[in-house]
Structure 1
Amino acid sequence: MSRIDALPPLREVIARHDLGARKALGQNFLLDLNLTRRIARAAGDLSGVTVVEVGPGPGGLTRALLDTGAARVVAVERDLRFIAALDDLVEAAEGRLELVRADALEVDAVALAPEPRAVVANLPYNVATPLLIGWLKRIEAFRSLTLMFQKEVADRLAAAPGGKDYGRLSVIAQWAAEVQPMFNLPAQAFTPPPKVMSTVVQLLPRREREPAEWSAMEAVTAAAFGQRRKMLRQSLKSLGDAEALAAAAGLDPTARAEVVPVAGYAALARAWRAGSREDPGEHATQRGTKRR
């Protein structure tokens, strides 16, 4: 038996340190070690990889990541109550676990871990999407992202054009990464149980993706999906001459946002960026679009 296997059960750790989940921090603890090991295995071979984990809580997934062979785990926790509770795990890990006391929204995951690096986390629901966007902006720096979301967010990430779940998040995520939903976890698997089912999703950097600038992709998707029921010739007006822009991207100006594929948005981003470079006045439009 390893030193990690010899640690007290997670429920005992929670009781000893009086670690009730805080709703304001989006905390729902996954205490079944069989499930945490399943998540760790879903991340693939972690030998030689430094894993960044966000919100370790009492350490269930942290234990699994160490057990399944991660070279090192850097766990980012903003709730100081868990630091003392994780001391025994830090000792049992024998130098393979580092705790970072910080808000994950304010730390640079790339700076925390050397290459090769990956992120594996049961994300707090209230910050899951902004964390993901931040990592997607630098997706090439990660070997993979294996993350747990509310199922409705996972459905949006993987949605195909034409479906009700297809939107800005679908386009941005699929443009930057290959999105692979892995498996669902029922609410009853968590303490306390959330009101929704959860889904583990893996995102792998695209080796080749449609050329476009991130800021331009943000601008065109914000405009298009800001009025998703309207045709592109109407929804893109905030970016300039909507019909000319759609034509330059090879898109039907009478199409609606939810039917345009990822490649279409990349073409739209390139066309808009080319036009804004020709007309400096468009930069003001871009800034206004981002605030929408």
Structure 2
Amino acid sequence: MSALDGLPPLRDVIATHELRAKKNLGQNFLLDLNLTARIARIAGDLSKTDVIEVGPGPGGLTRGLLAEGARKVLAIEKDSRCLPALAQIAAHYPGRLEVLEGDALKIDPLEYLEQPIAICANLPYNVGTELLIRWLTPEDWPPFWSSLTLMFQKEVAERITAQPGSKAYGRLAILTQWRADARIALTLPPEAFTPPPKVSSAVVHLTALPEPRFPADLKTLERVVAAAFNQRRKMLRASLKGLSPQIEEHLTAAGIAPTDRAEQIPLENFCALARSLKSA
């Protein structure tokens, strides 16, 4: 892509700006511009969409998003060392890249963007799951974003897309699949990154549903799921007894056997249990 966008190869950018990846920032840079363009394409047609990118680093995915036609990219970067490299990209794409220095957990990006909005990011490993849960659990739904295209450790990606009965199935799968369609779109080996992480990575694409898949109160569902999976080896009548003195009656009303364990229960039944508890 260096020939396509007229900017230097990423290895040269990293050398010029001395951008050694920092472990404490969860940084692993993806330097293959063919791969970053491929990830940008997974996000779909972005020509009429503003895109939030968290942790752009030297700008590999940023360049992919812009070259693939994103209307605008808002890049949120905590590491000030990366700002000169991102400024070079912004100058190359006038008016289409805005860079905010700061912590994505503390920045409200909406004042800088226009709908529709997508999020596409190679998320820093140390905040990726927390950001995903925030994006999935606003009080109001549908959310401000239409889709999420996110890089995670492969193990986390498998937890997001897991089905009942699997060891990976848990809180993350339920909160995701309650409000979104999710699929693993791409798997990458450690050697695709600099420095190579110890595990493989995967890109997950999520599309927001117009409304949750089954009716339930968010806070009640979160409480039920957290209690169920915090003690996932226990029968639900034991792991959930703190939620209600009549927990066995609520389980039965939701079509759940009190002797079942959390990983056996489909999303629909967890939502039914949340409704039963909320009505009580």
Specify the TM-score bucket, using the shorter chain as the normaliser: over 0.9
Find 1:256's aligned residue among 247, 261, 265: 261
Paired with 2:111 and 2:43, the residues of 1 have a C-alpha distance of 21
Q: Comparing 58-67 with 3-12, which one deviates more in the overlay?
A: 3-12
Match of 1:172 in 2: 175
Going from structure 1 to structure 2, the CA distance change for 1:259 and 1:56 (only over 3 Å counts) comes to same
Kindly, what percent of the aligned residue pairs are identical?
56
Within the alignment, does 1:191 sit opposite 2:194 as a pair? yes
The two structures have a TM-score, normalised by structure 1, of: 0.91
Going from structure 1 to structure 2, the CA distance change for 1:106 and 1:4 (only over 3 Å counts) comes to farther
* SS state at 1:105 partner: coil
* SS state at 1:44 partner: coil
Paired with 2:158 and 2:207, the residues of 1 have a C-alpha distance of 17
1:89-133: CA deviation from partner (whole Å, max 9, x where unpaired): 110011100001110111224444211000000001111100001
Paired with 2:145 and 2:121, the residues of 1 have a C-alpha distance of 14
Which residues of 2 match residues 42-191 of structure 1 at below 5 A? 42-138=42-138, 140-191=143-194
Q: Comparing 123-132 with 248-257, which one deviates more in the overlay?
A: 248-257
Paired with 1:165 and 1:146, the residues of 2 have a C-alpha distance of 20
Find 1:222's aligned residue among 183, 205, 226: 226
Structure 1 regions of 5+ residues with no counterpart? 276-292
* SS state at 2:196 partner: coil
Match of 2:216 in 1: 212
Match of 1:266 in 2: 271
Q: Which amino acid aligns with 1:61?
A: L
Paired with 1:145 and 1:185, the residues of 2 have a C-alpha distance of 18
Counting matched residue pairs gives 275
What's the CA shift for 1:213? Answer: 1.8
* SS state at 1:90 partner: helix
Structure 2 regions of 5+ residues with no counterpart? none
Going from structure 1 to structure 2, the CA distance change for 1:264 and 1:246 (only over 3 Å counts) comes to same
What's the CA shift for 1:2? Answer: 9.6
Q: Which amino acid aligns with 1:114?
A: E
Report the aligned-residue RMSD: 1.5
Paired with 1:229 and 1:3, the residues of 2 have a C-alpha distance of 55
Q: Comparing 152-161 with 3-12, which one deviates more in the overlay?
A: 3-12
Paired with 2:121 and 2:37, the residues of 1 have a C-alpha distance of 12
What's the CA shift for 1:3? Answer: 9.5
